[in-house]
């Protein structure tokens, strides 16, 4: 039971924590500017808390704060990142007295005192011939564990205990099952290697639970048919940007194409004579050919004739800021449109363009379209990716009802 690693923190204590946190960040070499940016958010938390004295500083409180104070700012991916980062730094510090770093470059190093085990294990992992990016991920996950140990005062692996590991696991509570299970698997391998090579005397690896990484645990966020119509109807199509966004939403809703592929669509990807869209998927590298519904075709034509600025860009959808190049921030247009349409979502849960794709899959399931056909339409490389959607189709789930004894 690692719960003893976390103590209750009340909003009245936050100011003390924030002063201490700022000192620690200065010591760690954060710039005044960085601390100032986070400090604005922390000041907002303390003033928000003065109206709610004696409340526990819990995840629920933090969610409510984001919703009440920052709802609009969270629509912009950059400010969302900054604001939630500030809230997470404070929450980590109050609970674990640790500041987890945000970025790890290839120059980010392990401490002198602890590096022997981490670097030794990493060179061992290299022998498994992982792809470059996989090695990078492994290193980042181990750096997070290293920072935790170092910040909690551990300078020698022999003083790591089961309780240390339990509390570290608690510090990952806000991450996805995938992240947690992969991190723990990596740490377990490292601790096993450390024991086998006599770096540690205890079988610390036995303290690490096996977290099954079930892709199926995560229910895809999806739009209902009603919400899709609400979003489409809320777009102001009398201006060029509205025409562009409407065509993008329609392609996502009717064809379920991923935003990276919509972004990359060029004129050569459409055959107007045959009324089809064909392209190579960015994610899987496989080609996909889809029939183009009439409303999608007309929305694209409307944008090309009456909305798209004069530009040499090959992409169909372009940015409307000079010099009108490829439109790279497709993901940022959906949160704003959802607010126009009056659709609410939790403050820190980003519902993106993929919810259109999931919505299409669900509707096809509801209409009894066979899984292989859905898989083909969505361009999945593996049908198990499509099976994830079975969990959001009530109609299909009802067929699995069991008799109650």
List b or e across 10-19, with b for residues whose CB sees 16 or more CB atoms inside 10 angstroms: ebeebeebbe
For the question of residue 389 being annotated catalytic, the response is: yes
139, 146, 357, 358: the catalytic one is 357
144, 146, 237, 258: the catalytic one is 258
For the question of residue 254 being annotated catalytic, the response is: no
Which residues, listed in sequence order, are joined to residue 270 by a DSSP beta bridge? 277
For the question of residue 282 being annotated catalytic, the response is: no
62, 244, 354, 363: the catalytic one is 354
List the helix and strand counts (H, then E) for the chain. Answer: 17, 3
30, 70, 205, 389: the catalytic one is 389
For the question of residue 33 being annotated catalytic, the response is: no
For the question of residue 354 being annotated catalytic, the response is: yes
Give the Cα separation of 247 and 260 in Å (integer): 15
141, 350, 363, 380: the catalytic one is 380
Do residues 133 and 142 touch, judged by C-beta distance below 8 A?
no
The set of long-range contacts for 382-385, using a CB threshold of 8 Å and a minimum separation of 24, is 384/215
Do residues 335 and 234 touch, judged by C-beta distance below 8 A?
no
Give 378's contacts (C-beta < 8 A, 6+ positions apart). 256, 357, 360, 361, 385, 386
| Consecutive H or E run containing 84 | helix 77-96
Query: Cα-Cα-Cα-Cα dihedral of 230, 235, 236, 238, to 10°?
Result: -110
Tokens representing 294 are 């009439």
283, 286, 314, 336: the catalytic one is 283
For the question of residue 380 being annotated catalytic, the response is: yes
Please spell the DSSP secondary structure of 339-394, one letter per residue: HHTT----TT----THHHHHHHHHHHHHTT--HHHHHHHHT-SSHHHHHGGGGG-H
Q: Which residues are catalytic, by number?
A: 258, 283, 354, 357, 380, 389
């Amino acid at each position: 039971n690692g719960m003893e690693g976390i103590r209750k923190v009340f909003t009245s204590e936050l100011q003390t924590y924030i002063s201490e946190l700022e000192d620690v960040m200065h010591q760690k070499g954060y710039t005044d500017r960085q601390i100032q940016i986070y400090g604005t958010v922390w000041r907002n938390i303390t003033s928000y808390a003065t109206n709610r004295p004696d409340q526990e500083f819990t995840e629920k409180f933090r969610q409510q704060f984001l919703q009440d104070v920052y709802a609009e700012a969270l629509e912009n991916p950059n400010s969302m990142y900054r604001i939630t980062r500030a809230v997470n730094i404070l929450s980590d510090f109050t609970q674990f007295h640790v500041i987890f770093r945000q970025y790890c470059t290839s120059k980010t190093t392990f401490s002198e005192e602890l590096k022997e085990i981490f670097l030794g294990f990493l060179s061992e992992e290299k022998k498994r011939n992982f792809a470059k990016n996989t090695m990078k991920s492994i290193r980042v996950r181990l750096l997070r564990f290293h920072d935790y140990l170092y910040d909690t005062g551990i300078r020698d692996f022999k003083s790591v205990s089961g309780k240390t590991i339990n509390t570290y696991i608690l510090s990952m509570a806000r991450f996805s099952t995938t992240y947690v299970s992969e991190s723990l698997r990596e740490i377990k391998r490292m601790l096993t290697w450390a024991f086998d090579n006599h770096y540690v005397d205890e079988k610390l690896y036995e303290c690490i639970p096996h977290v099954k990484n079930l892709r199926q645990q995560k229910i895809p966020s999806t739009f209902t048919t009603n919400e899709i119509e609400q979003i489409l109807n809320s777009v102001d199509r009398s201006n060029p940007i509205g025409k562009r966004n409407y065509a993008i939403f329609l392609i996502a809703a009717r064809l379920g194409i991923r935003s990276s592929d919509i972004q990359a669509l060029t004129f050569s990807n459409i055959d107007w004579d045959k009324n089809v869209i064909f392209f190579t998927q960015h994610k899987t590298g496989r080609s996909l050919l889809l029939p183009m519904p009439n409303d999608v075709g007309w929305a694209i034509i409307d944008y090309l004739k009456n909305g798209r600025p004069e530009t040499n860009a090959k992409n169909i959808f372009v940015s409307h800021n000079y010099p009108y190049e490829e439109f790279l921030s497709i993901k940022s247009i959906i949160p704003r449109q959802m607010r126009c349409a009056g659709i609410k979502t939790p403050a820190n849960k980003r519902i993106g363009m993929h919810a259109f794709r999931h919505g299409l899959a669900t509707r096809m399931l509801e209409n009894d379209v066979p899984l292989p056909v859905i898989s083909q339409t969505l361009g999945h490389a593996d049908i198990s990716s499509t099976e994830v959607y079975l969990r959001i189709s009530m109609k299909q789930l009802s067929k699995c009802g069991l008799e109650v004894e």
